[in-house]
Amino acid sequence: MKFIRHWFDNGEPRVSSAEYDKSDTGVDWLRVIPFIVMHLACLTVLFVGVSTVAVVTAITLYLLRMFAITAFYHRYFSHKAFRTSRKIQFIFALIGASATQRGPLWWAAHHRQHHRYADQPADPHSPKQGFFWSHMGWFLSGKHYQADYNLVQDWKRFVELRWLDRFDLIAPVLLALTLFIFGVLLEKFAPELKTSGWQMLVWGYFISTVVLLHVTLLINSMAHRIGKKRYTTNDESRNNFLLALLTLGEGWHNNHHHYPASARQGFYWWEVDVSYYLLKLMQKSGLIWDVRTVPLHKRDSKKIIPEADL
């Protein structure tokens, strides 16, 4: 059936969003069955229980995949805020895909469209269209199943990225399977850890992924509503300290909309930006280079709130 095929094969990323019905804003219930199942599976924690190793695994995978999303899906693929090798590029694209937020081309194309039309009708996830739409309704609809891949011509030349984008479900399925096998092995060879295959699957994949997904989506739904504006921008982006902590730095959203090309979104030393700190470590190790930051004249321009009030 067509909708089952779409669970596993998104099609070659060569189309533009103009080829799809832009009025299709309702939830595509058949296509998003895996999304629904993923949430329901979290409830099985009542049966599989909890252990220290399972919780640590869940937190570790949350942090690793959040970094892949914030530093690579966002700052690298969407904004080209630094450069890296083709190998590192693919490794973090794969880790990002395991977060179950679709492929890097799809993600970057929608984000570039967001910056072009922030809080305007063509913005894929403007909060002006309601909380549910901006949080998750936009990608659950048929309207945004595909993206305008004309916006990511720079990445379409990499065959491995196109493959990962087309079959983006492979990465999370492999992660889930690996976690289950890992749990089975721990149950057999380290029973004192009191875990199991099912427990590692539920905590390491389902719970970790669902929390990661919704925290990431809060940038769309809340960072244009709650927080403070330091800069005058053509949108309602806000800086939000709590979201910055939860997302490893993405909460400095008004900063980001003021100067999107910067790999550092916390423009001042007191603005915690864990993703940027990790990128600096990668730069020192030679894994990435040409890391772009905000120039001082841009950082100090178009301010509407004195620093003492932030």
Query: Hey, is 233 helix, strand or coil?
Result: coil
Residue 93 lies in a domain: yes
Per-residue pLDDT at 297: 95
Residue 229 lies in a domain: yes
Q: Residue 254's CB: how many other CB atoms inside 10 A?
A: 26
List, for residues 209-236, the tens digit of each pLDDT value. Answer: 999 999 999 999 999 999 999 999 999 9
Residue 266 lies in a domain: yes
Residue 19 predicted with pLDDT over 70:
no
Count of domains in the chain?
A: 1
Distance CA 138, CA 149 (A): 17
Residue 13 lies in a domain: no
Residue 6 lies in a domain: no
Q: What average pLDDT does the chain have?
A: 92
Residue 131 lies in a domain: no
Per-residue pLDDT at 29: 82
Per-residue pLDDT at 11: 72
- Token pair of 193 as six digits: 């850890």
Residue 308 predicted with pLDDT over 50:
no
Cβ-count burial 79-97 (b if 16+ within 10 Å, e if not) = bebbebeeeebbebbbbbb
Please give the average per-residue pLDDT across 56-81, as a whole number: 98
Per-residue pLDDT at 31: 82
Kindly give the interhelix angle for 159-166 and 86-97, rounded to the nearest 10 degrees: 0
What percentage of residues in the chain have a pLDDT greater than 90?
82
Distance CA 305, CA 177 (A): 49
Residue 127 lies in a domain: no
Q: What is the domain range of residue 42?
A: 31-119+137-309
List, for residues 121-130, the tens digit of each pLDDT value. Answer: 899 998 888 9
Residue 14 lies in a domain: no
List, for residues 291-305, the tens digit of each pLDDT value. Answer: 999 999 999 999 996
User: How, if at all, do strands 83-84 and 288-289 pair?
Assistant: antiparallel
Per-residue pLDDT at 204: 98
Q: Residue 299's CB: how many other CB atoms inside 10 A?
A: 19
pTM, two decimal places: 0.93
Residue 18 predicted with pLDDT over 60:
no
CB-based contact 8:167 (threshold 8 Å):
yes
Residue 62 predicted with pLDDT over 80:
yes
